[in-house]
C-alpha cells in the first residue's frame, strides 16, 4: 500500500519556517500486513499462534474442570492423574464465608488444609480448585494473613517427598 501526500517539511527549507508555499510530495513506505490464525484456550484468556501448544495447554489449564494433572504425586508417574476438580471447587465455594467491604468471599486456613487433603497435596490441583471456585481472594484471610501461596505449597510438597524418600538407617 502506497500513500502519497504533502510533506510536513517544505522543500529546500531544511525544516525552517519559510513563507514560500511548498509543493513537494513525499511517498510513505508500504506496510506489509499478515493475517495469522490465533488459537484461544476455551477455559482462560491464554492465546497463541500454535494450535498444538494451545491444545496441550487446554488439557492442563487450571480453569479446565476435566484437566489432567502432570504432577507426579502418589504413584502417578506417567502424568495422567485425573481428578474431578469441579466438585471440589463447588464445595470450596460453599465453605467460603461472606466477608466485609470489598472482599465478598474469604477462606480460612482450615479451608486450605481441607483442600490440600482433597487433592492429595498437589499444588497445581489446589490452584485449579481455587480458581474454579470463583472466590475473589484466594491468598488472604479476613485478618490479612496469607493462607495460600503456590510457591510455598510446591516447597512443602518437595520437602515431604524428600523426607518420605529418604532412607533412614
Entry pTM: 0.67
**Selection from 19, 15, 20 nearest residue 7 by Cα:** 15
DSSP character at residue 22: P
Helix 123-133 to helix 85-95 angle, to the nearest 10 degrees? 60
The alpha carbon of residue 74 and the mean position of all alpha carbons in its chain are separated, in whole angstroms, by: 26
- How does pLDDT run across 98-108, given as a tens digit for each residue? 655 554 567 88
**pLDDT reported for residue 38:** 95
- Expressed in percent and rounded to 5, the helix, strand and coil fractions of the chain are 35, 15, 55
| CA distance to 5, 10, 90, 125, per residue, from 25 (Å) | 6, 9, 67, 63
- How does pLDDT run across 12-62, given as a tens digit for each residue? 555 555 555 556 667 778 889 999 999 999 999 999 999 999 999 999 899
- How does pLDDT run across 70-126, given as a tens digit for each residue? 876 665 555 556 677 888 888 888 887 665 555 456 788 888 899 999 888 889 889
CB atoms within 10 A of CB 104: 13
Amino acid at each position: 500500500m502506497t500513500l502519497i501526500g504533502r510533506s510536513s517539511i517544505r522543500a529546500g527549507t531544511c525544516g525552517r519556517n519559510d513563507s514560500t508555499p511548498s509543493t513537494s510530495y513525499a511517498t510513505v513506505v508500504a506496510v506489509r500486513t499478515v493475517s495469522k490464525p490465533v488459537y484461544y484456550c476455551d477455559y482462560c484468556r491464554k492465546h497463541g499462534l500454535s494450535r498444538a501448544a494451545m491444545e496441550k495447554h487446554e488439557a492442563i489449564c487450571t480453569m479446565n474442570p476435566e484437566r489432567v494433572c502432570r504432577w507426579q504425586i502418589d504413584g502417578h508417574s506417567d502424568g495422567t492423574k485425573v481428578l474431578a476438580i469441579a466438585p471440589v471447587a463447588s464445595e470450596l465455594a460453599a465453605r467460603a464465608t461472606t466477608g466485609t467491604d470489598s472482599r465478598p468471599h474469604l477462606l480460612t486456613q482450615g479451608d486450605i488444609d481441607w483442600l490440600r487433603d482433597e487433592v492429595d497435596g498437589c499444588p497445581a490441583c489446589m490452584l485449579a480448585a481455587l480458581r474454579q471456585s470463583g472466590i475473589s481472594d484466594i491468598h488472604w484471610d479476613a485478618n490479612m494473613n496469607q493462607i495460600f501461596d503456590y510457591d510455598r505449597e510446591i516447597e512443602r510438597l518437595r520437602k515431604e517427598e524428600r523426607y518420605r524418600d529418604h532412607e533412614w538407617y
